[in-house]
């Protein structure tokens, strides 16, 4: 993992503000989103670009102590991270119970299958 390519910055989001790390090697598969390592949560989070990019800024000189924490935290989070494009696109279909009404007739007509497997009506 090439940490020199990573961008280190700060997400200014009120009470949820935190140092963040962006690794351009992590692709979300969606141009409208971006993955950032969120130090406060210690996880890689997918954000909407339009929402998050205006709130990002580079780390200031007085925040240089966050660099080591960001890199170490990112390396731990990266081990368990599964990007969107690696996830299954759709879940397999679930078995759906048969919700059709039973074949109880309102009258005394009985239903039976004949040898040709066609529905036959037997009358008394």
The HSE-up count of residue 58 (CA atoms within 13 Å, CB side) is 4
Residue with tokens 């040709």: 116
DSSP 35: E
For residue 17, pLDDT over 80 is answered with: yes
Q: What is the pLDDT of residue 50?
A: 95
For residue 99, pLDDT over 80 is answered with: no
pTM tops 0.85: no
The HSE-up count of residue 48 (CA atoms within 13 Å, CB side) is 2
Between 4 and 41, the higher pLDDT residue: 41
Please, are residues 111 and 105 in contact by the beta-carbon 8 Å criterion?
A: yes
Average of per-residue pLDDT across 71-82 = 93
Between 22 and 112, the higher pLDDT residue: 22
> What distance in Å separates the CA atoms of residue 81 and residue 28, rounded to the nearest whole number?
12
DSSP 111: E
Sheet holding 7-11, edge to edge: 43-48, 33-38, 18-22, 7-11, 56-58
> What distance in Å separates the CA atoms of residue 33 and residue 28, rounded to the nearest whole number?
7
Between 104 and 74, the higher pLDDT residue: 74
């Amino acid at each position: 993992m090439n940490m020199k390519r990573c961008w280190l910055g700060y997400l200014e989001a009120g009470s949820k503000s935190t140092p963040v790390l962006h690794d351009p090697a992590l692709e979300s598969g969606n141009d409208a989103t971006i993955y950032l390592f969120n130090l406060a949560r210690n996880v890689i989070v997918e954000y909407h670009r339009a929402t998050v990019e205006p709130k990002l800024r580079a780390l200031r000189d007085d925040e240089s102590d966050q660099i080591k924490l960001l890199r170490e935290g990112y390396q731990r989070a990266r081990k368990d991270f599964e990007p969107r494009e690696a996830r299954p696109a759709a879940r397999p279909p679930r078995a759906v119970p048969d919700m059709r009404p039973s074949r109880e007739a309102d009258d005394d007509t009985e239903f039976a299958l004949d040898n040709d497997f066609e529905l036959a009506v037997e009358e008394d």
